[in-house]
Amino acid sequence: MKLSGTVIVLVLIALLLSAGCTTSSPASVTQSSPVPSTPGGPMATWPVTTAAAEPPVPAVTASAPQVTVTVIHYIIPTKAWKDTDLHFAFEAPQDWVVTTRLVSLPEGSQGLMYKTELVPDDAFSIITYPVNLNQDQAYRDTFRNWRPAPVETTVDINGITFGRFETSAYGETHVGYVAQKASANDLGYASVITYTANSSRMFEQDDFEKVVSSFTYFTKDKAVNVTGTEIPRVR
């Protein structure tokens, strides 16, 4: 019985010792990531993502379509005209009706003076007169009185020296050519060329100038060789 008691005592001591060495561990706490609060809340921890800025779209400017206007200048074939008696010639559009008539001389003057009409109503004409009448200065004075005051130049056309006068007003351009006495033809005739071009008729002045540029004198010995339609005389 002593031995049994001793064993029981030893077992009890062992149990007590094992109980004293065992330390209760607190319940383990599982660490978890904090749950983010609702975005916008006082403790919001959502990362802020900034979207990349879109490149600006260039504004499209509406422009009116470009309109190209093509102006066609129809060139009318020309016709050669000549005055065998007065020794001059020129070329004009073939649809022009050209005539020459005798006109009255200034009072007290002698000789013959002619007016060749290329375009009706004094729009384009040629005056032919004897240089001994000294009419050239009278025509210059008349043209210089145009208003506005004309631009005056000296030009040479086919060997004939002209004083040229040009002025524009109210949509019309007035031009006058006065041949110098020294440029009279072999018969002693000189010429004054005048025209009025309307600015509303495009190219009209250019067409008139082409006619003037063709004006020429010829001598008696060359008259038979000059080609062209004879300008008819009218009363």
| Residue 51 belongs to some domain of the structure | no
pLDDT in tens, 134-187: 889 999 999 999 999 999 999 999 999 999 999 999 999 999 999 999 999 999
For the chain, the maximum distance between any two Cα atoms, rounded to a whole number of angstroms, is 195
| Residue 26 belongs to some domain of the structure | no
| Residue 27 belongs to some domain of the structure | no
Report the CATH number at residue 193: 3.40.1000
| Residue 90 belongs to some domain of the structure | no
> Which range of residues forms the domain containing residue 113?
95-234
| Residue 52 belongs to some domain of the structure | no
Q: Are 183 and 128 in contact (CB under 8 A)?
A: no
Note the pLDDT of residue 233: 97
Task: List C-alpha distances in Å: 34 to 31, 39, 43, 45, 46.
Answer: 9, 14, 11, 10, 12
Please give the model's pTM, rounded to 2 decimal places: 0.70
Using the CB atoms, write b or e for 76-105: b if 16+ within 10 Å: eebeebbbebbbbbbbbeeebebebeeeee
Task: List C-alpha distances in Å: 35 to 1, 29, 46, 48, 49.
Answer: 67, 16, 10, 17, 19
| pLDDT at 107 exceeding the cut of 60 | yes
Find the radius of gyration of the CA atoms of the chain.
57
What is the β-pairing status of strands 113-119 and 160-169?
unpaired
For CA atoms 197, 202, 207, 212, the dihedral sign is positive
**Structure tokens belonging to residue 26:** 């607190």
**Residues 65-89, mean pLDDT to the nearest whole number:** 88
Average pLDDT, the chain: 82
| pLDDT at 89 exceeding the cut of 90 | yes
Q: Are 133 and 105 in contact (CB under 8 A)?
A: yes
Q: Are 194 and 125 in contact (CB under 8 A)?
A: yes
Note the pLDDT of residue 54: 64
Note the pLDDT of residue 53: 59
Note the pLDDT of residue 50: 53
How many domains would you assign to the chain? 1
| Residue 80 belongs to some domain of the structure | no
Using the CB atoms, write b or e for 142-151: b if 16+ within 10 Å: ebeebeeebe
| Residue 73 belongs to some domain of the structure | no
Note the pLDDT of residue 28: 44
pLDDT in tens, 9-52: 455 555 555 555 444 444 444 444 454 444 444 444 445 555 55
Confidence of residue 70 (pLDDT cuts 50, 70, 90): confident
| Residue 78 belongs to some domain of the structure | no
- Which residue carries 């002045």 as its tokens? 205
